[in-house]
Amino acid sequence: MSDTPKFTPSRRQFLAGAAVATGAAATGKLVHAQAAGPDPLITELQPWQQYLGDGVDARPYGMPSQYEAHVVRRNVSWLTADSVSSVNFTPLHELDGIITPNGLCFERHHAGIAEIPPGEHRLMINGLVDNPLVFTMEDLMRFPRENRVYFLECAANTGMEWRGAQLNGVQFTHGMIHNVVYTGVPLRLLLEEAGVRGNAAWILPEGADASAMTRSIPLEKAMDDCLVAFKMNGEALRPEQGYPVRLVVPGWEGNMWVKWLRRIEVGDQPWHHREETSKYTDLLEHGSARRFTWEMDAKSVITNPSPQAPITHGPGPTVLTGVAWSGRGTIPRVDVTIDGGITWHQARMSGPSFDKSMHRFYYEFDWDGRPLLLQSRAHDSTGYVQPTKDQLRMVRGENSIYHNNGIQTWAVNENGEAENVEIG
């Protein structure tokens, strides 16, 4: 029996009867408790009950269960010219809580993954400073550190959906986001160490990879909450996330969080580099474009049910869940509708609520087996309410790529299968 995930309801469909249950040995499929007779999984001795498993030396770096092998980042190959300058997507429909495991954090790089020996990494601060400095990783580890949880969302997340429902899965529509606890040195301390001059107003962080990524960031933000981070979720940054050190720019678009951070220049004007002119500017309907749209607006999405995670248990108690976040604060409230917005319900928030971090919400209901139109609507701590896609299009037109934070709709049919749709 194949163990390969198929994104159809059969994947987790209830396998009724004792005969099927014995035949389904060693599958990861979840089944619905229903006794047609004594369950051989209970009445018969199973191998794991009898034989010894791996010892402590077998898995020095622990990996997920073999039955979770389908939980991986995925690429949409037609989006980009080549996988070395591309993006893959976090499988949001397989995750819960608020923290994204390191191996599932989406990747976006512009010249592949730089592999830098930490002993050979240098971070330079130059420009409008009293004393231009070079730090080694060891130097950085001697500054006081902070631990903070932040979401990182690519400004292009949901960017394929501006003109209508396109990709049929929350991983692809909303998976350019992750939420991680970072350990790092406040950028403020490094800038103070170099002595920022009076006319300084901007910084230019730069990456050590072959794209030498640069972005202009106002000094005010740099001195406020940016971190120079070397740990994610307690362990060293993954190579694809900028090992050995990256910039953390809380609440602002992911492109600014320069990975493999090698240099920070201090200046009195922005640099208007490629990633803040040709890219990451927002072309509006009348042909003009917004620049420096750094903050990520409040947004939410239902992760389950969704096209990759259909309802497989039939009518009855059903858990709807999703995530919400805002680049301007916390998410005190999320509303959910299951009838396409005729009636809304306040979802139940669960888990820690941190500033500029992902939040988890739930809405439990008894599904009557009829089709559903699911939506969620985030409210952030500034009072901003997540708009519909149509509201965004009214202001911006359809030529934007970035900053699509419109409300997502999933249509669920009688079989529990879900589809990405738009409603009117």
Partner 1 sequence: MSKSGNMMKTFTLSTALVVATAGFALAQENPAPSREGGYGLGRTALPEEIAAWDIDIRPDGTGLPVGLGDVYTGEELFVDLCSACHGDFGEAVGRWPQLAGGYGTLESEDPVKTIGSYWPYLSTVWDYVHRAMPYGSAQSLTDDEVYAIVAYLMYVNDMVDDDFELSNENFLEIAMPNEDNFFMDDRAETEYTLFTGEPCMENCRESVEITARATILNVTPEQEAAAAAEAAAAEAAAAAEEAAVVEAAAEEAVAEEAPGPDPALVAQGETLFRQCASCHQIGEGATNRTGPMLNHTYGAPVGVHEGFRYSPAFQAARDSGMVWDDASLTAYLMDPRGFIPGNRMAFRGLRSEEEAAAMIAYLRAAGGDAE
The two structure tokens encoding residue 355: 């500033």
Q: Does 29 bind partner 1 (CB under 8 A)?
A: no
What string marks each residue from 367 to 406 as x (binds partner 1 by CB under 8 A) or -?
------x---x---xxxxxxx---x---x--xx-------
**Chosen residue from 40, 218, 239, 341 binding partner 1 by CB under 8 A:** 341
Q: Which stretch binds partner 1 (CB under 8 A): 51-59, 78-86, 101-109, 310-318?
A: 78-86
Q: Does 137 bind partner 1 (CB under 8 A)?
A: no
* Residues sharing a CB contact under 8 Å with residue 278, sequence separation 6 or more, in sequence order: none
Instruction: Note whether 253 and 150 are within 8 A (CB).
Output: no
Q: Does 135 bind partner 1 (CB under 8 A)?
A: yes
Q: Does 166 bind partner 1 (CB under 8 A)?
A: yes
Question: What torsion do the CA atoms of 154, 160, 162, 164 make, to the nearest 10 degrees?
Answer: -150
Q: Does 91 bind partner 1 (CB under 8 A)?
A: no
Place of tokens 């359809």: 398
* Residues sharing a CB contact under 8 Å with residue 115, sequence separation 6 or more, in sequence order: 239
Q: Does 5 bind partner 1 (CB under 8 A)?
A: yes
Please name every residue paired with 74 in a beta bridge, in sequence order, or none if there are none. 89
- Measure the CA–CA gap between 159 and 173, rounded to whole angstroms: 8
Q: What are residue 43's phi and psi, to 5 degrees? A: -80, -20
- Measure the CA–CA gap between 87 and 66, rounded to whole angstroms: 25
Q: Does 365 bind partner 1 (CB under 8 A)?
A: no
Helix (H) or strand (E) holding 217: strand 217-218
Q: Does 65 bind partner 1 (CB under 8 A)?
A: no
Q: Does 347 bind partner 1 (CB under 8 A)?
A: no
Counting residues that bind partner 1 (by CB under 8 A) gives 128
Q: Does 349 bind partner 1 (CB under 8 A)?
A: no
**Chosen residue from 82, 117, 119, 366 binding partner 1 by CB under 8 A:** 82
Instruction: Note whether 93 and 309 are within 8 A (CB).
Output: yes
Q: Which is nearer to partner 1, 17 or 352 (CB)?
A: 352
**Chosen residue from 80, 118, 319, 348 binding partner 1 by CB under 8 A:** 80
Local structure of 279: helix, strand or coil:
coil
Q: How far is the CB of 74 from partner 1 (least distance, A)?
A: 5
What string marks each residue from 225 to 264 as x (binds partner 1 by CB under 8 A) or -?
x------------------------------------xx-
Please name every residue paired with 186 in a beta bridge, in sequence order, or none if there are none. 227
Q: How far is the CB of 270 from partner 1 (least distance, A)?
A: 8
- Measure the CA–CA gap between 266 and 417, rounded to whole angstroms: 53
Q: What are residue 317's phi and psi, to 5 degrees? A: -55, 130
Q: How far is the CB of 32 from partner 1 (least distance, A)?
A: 23
Q: How far is the CB of 302 from partner 1 (least distance, A)?
A: 15
